[in-house]
Amino acid sequence: MSSLLIRGAKPYGEGEPVDILVRDGVIAAIEPKIDHDADEVLDAGGLVALPGFVDLHTHLREPGREDTETIETGSRAAALGGYTAVFAMANTDPVADNAVVVEHVWRRGREVGLVDVHPVGAVTVGLKGERLAELGTMARSAAGVRVFSDDGLCVADPLIMRRALEYTKALDAVVAQHAEEPRLTVGAQAHEGELAARLGLAGWPAVAEESIVARDCLLARHVGARLHVCHVSTAGTADVLRWAKARGTTVSAEVTPHHLLLDDSRLSTYDPVNKVNPPLRTSTDAAALRAALADGTVDCVATDHAPHAAQDKDCEWSAARPGMLGLQTALPIVVQTMVGPGLLDWRGVARVMSERPAEIAGLADHGRPIAVGEPATLALVDPAGRWTVRGADLASVAANTPYEGMELPGVVVATLLRGALTARDGKATK
């Protein structure tokens, strides 16, 4: 039997430090002091132990754009960021709208073995929004798909969306909607407001998101299905979610780290590294999203990790692709925006980065308590550590981080997936 002894960690940052004994991938003991001749000892003095993070929204780009990311490089970035499970979005080439593609993604994830890679199936064929993809076939495939999304594009047709909700209800799955009324965002380049007008950038109005979220909450309640809202970006959307949840609608939502920290004031430089969809909103929106995450209106943090090649970002704003890297910087940004100001404690971090996303996606073996008999799927974090972000040093193929040169708090020291160290001291194990 293989064993690992973690010495001096604080589960959830609470109480006195304890030793955690891991045997064959399971937590075998948690005691103030464990005397055991383990195969490996990890000094975790001063570290916070959390359940491994789960990302509901990752772009791994494979198949089709391996020049920007692969399942292997994305898995490395995820492990280094404390993640133990990621959900790979369907907008690949070919699109993940059938069992063949989702099984390829799932198998590649297993071959790499650093994180559990769960493919997200497309809602519609080719992401075209015209007819439903093979939802049942993907759900029954070896990949066992339980999250479906056309992310990058909205399922704009209300009848198609209703049918998708009906099918996923029968499959015990969830539709993750990219909320954007396309007729309101034609040519949009930035958040519709004073700054966009001054910069001469076509506006992406907040109501384009809010109107779709309201519509879909009504549809989900009517059908009795589960709805998940991707990358919430406006204060108004938080208000809609609060209203829908009060009515008993089964809706969950995610916010990205960049929408918690950044706002549209960064656009004044015209640097396309700041271009993202949905766009960076106002500082008022960012504050409202932080409050909504703290009170549970927004359920979880998801990275929307979106790697792009240099030529797709180092160009004029209008031609640049939207998206930012996020896997390795997510936890530090949550520490800066939520833990530092007292909006979340470490239990809260576990809730929004591990427990709730695992629950939403139906992962039985992630987001588990740190307790004897549970899987040793953990992230060990140095709460006092600080590090400076350099895109070139990140594990992704791409380097399009908006946090270049920023010093951020919180360092992931080690990540364990079912007892196996997948990252340690800034290096992935594969």
Catalytic residues: 304
Give dist(CA 29, CA 132) in Å, integer: 48
Phi, psi of 29 (to 5 degrees): -160, 145
Cβ(190)–Cβ(204) below 8 Å:
yes
Give dist(CA 384, CA 390) in Å, integer: 20
Provide CB contacts within 8 A for 373, sequence distance 6+: 26, 27
Q: Could you give the 3-state DSSP secondary structure of residue 223?
A: helix
Q: In the structure encoding, which two tokens stand for residue 173, read together?
A: 């799955």
Residue with tokens 């916070």: 48
Q: In the structure encoding, which two tokens stand for residue 290, read together?
A: 């932080």
Phi, psi of 364 (to 5 degrees): -75, -20
Which run of H or E residues covers position 385?
strand 378-388
Q: In the structure encoding, which two tokens stand for residue 384, read together?
A: 């006092």
- Phi-psi map region of 16: left, alpha, beta (phi>0 left; psi -120 to 50 alpha): beta
In angstroms, how far is CA 14 from the centroid of its own chain? Answer: 25
Find, among 122, 65, 72, the residue nearest to 99 by Cα: 122
Give dist(CA 255, CA 297) in Å, integer: 11
Cβ(252)–Cβ(299) below 8 Å:
yes
